[in-house]
Amino acid sequence: MNEVLADSSRTLADRVFSRLQDDIVRGVIAPGSKVSETDLAGRYGVSRGPLREAIRRLESRKLLEREVHVGTRVASLSFDDLIEIYHVREALEGLAAGLAARLMTAEEVAGLTELLGQHEQQQDLRHDTAYFQREGDLDFHYRIIQGSHNRTLIRMLIGELYHLVRMYRYQFSTVANRPQKALHEHRRIVEAIEARDAEMAELLMRRHISRARENIEQQAQQRSPQ
């Protein structure tokens, strides 16, 4: 899932960028906490030069927030932020699903079907839904996004938006409370893609993400009034 490249083939700044991003997304560095350049440079064994380049890139991905002459802090997602992101996801992944239904190769469709089978099997055998909820679900969406064959779309979703989604899941340790339903929706989306029904695939994907958003909105209402 992560673009793992040989360390030697990349530059120091690139490596510290990946590692720092991972630490932020996984919550190793607490959201909202202030990070000092000197500290980070020491932590990753790098000088401040490459580190600053990495910071700038993470800043444009909204994983870090910088204030001039004051410091950098890890982004802290609010529920409102997440709702916004899900609105964008609905539009973009709907597009992706439609394009995937039209453009996915037979191999890609087969791979997607196989992945879905694995998820359903895991679901049946043991009710350990942890994997599916945390990363498996994203695997499924990644495949379809890749299947759109639209590099701009892929970059915006996987390269930018999904890091925020993943960070949110770690931040709130979200337990998706509708795994069976989600899995069923995945099945129907795959069926539409297999049938090369672009409109149906788009519709189902939009609905799928829309329901996930509604689910989050309910959680937000339950938590905030307390």
Partner DNA sequence: TCAATGCTTATTGTCGACAATGGCGCCAGG
Partner DNA sequence: CCTGGCGCCATTGTCGACAATAAGCATTGA
d(CA 63, CA 151): 22
Candidate residues 12, 115, 156, 203; the one interacting with DNA per rule CB under 7 A: 12
Q: Is 32 in the site for DNA (CB under 7 A)?
A: no
Beta carbon of residue 24, minimum distance to DNA (angstroms, whole number):
15
Q: Is 116 in the site for its own copies (CB under 8 A)?
A: no
Q: Is 56 in the site for its own copies (CB under 8 A)?
A: yes
Stretch of 47-55, 95-103, 149-157, 179-187 contacting DNA, by CB under 7 A: 47-55
Reduced 3-state DSSP string for the chain: CCCCCCHHHCCHHHHHHHHHHHHHHCCCCCCCCEECHHHHHHHHCCCHHHHHHHHHHHHHCCCEEEECCCEEEECCCCHHHHHHHHHHHHHHHHHHHHHHHHHCCHHHHHHHHHHHHHHHHHHHHCCCCHHHHHHHHHHHHHHHHHHCCCHHHHHHHHHHHHHHHHHHHHHCCCCCCCHHHHHHHHHHHHHHHHCCCHHHHHHHHHHHHHHHHHHHHHHHHHHCCC
Q: Is 90 in the site for its own copies (CB under 8 A)?
A: yes
Beta carbon of residue 4, minimum distance to its own copies (angstroms, whole number):
17
Candidate residues 33, 36, 76, 105; the one interacting with DNA per rule CB under 7 A: 36
Q: Is 49 in the site for its own copies (CB under 8 A)?
A: yes
Stretch of 88-96, 106-114, 170-178, 192-200 contacting its own copies, by CB under 8 A: 88-96
Candidate residues 1, 28, 30, 91; the one interacting with its own copies per rule CB under 8 A: 91
Q: Is 35 in the site for DNA (CB under 7 A)?
A: yes
CB 38, CB 27: distance < 8 Å: no
Candidate residues 38, 76, 180, 221; the one interacting with DNA per rule CB under 7 A: 38
Q: Is 87 in the site for its own copies (CB under 8 A)?
A: yes
Residue 171 CA: distances (Å) to CA of 10, 18, 153, 164, 221 = 29, 19, 26, 10, 17
User: What is the contact surface with DNA in residues (CB under 7 A)?
Assistant: 11-13, 35-38, 46-50, 52, 66, 68-72
User: What is the contact surface with its own copies in residues (CB under 8 A)?
Assistant: 9-11, 13-14, 49, 52-54, 56-57, 59-62, 68, 81, 84-85, 87-88, 90-92, 94-95, 99, 150-153, 155-156, 160-161
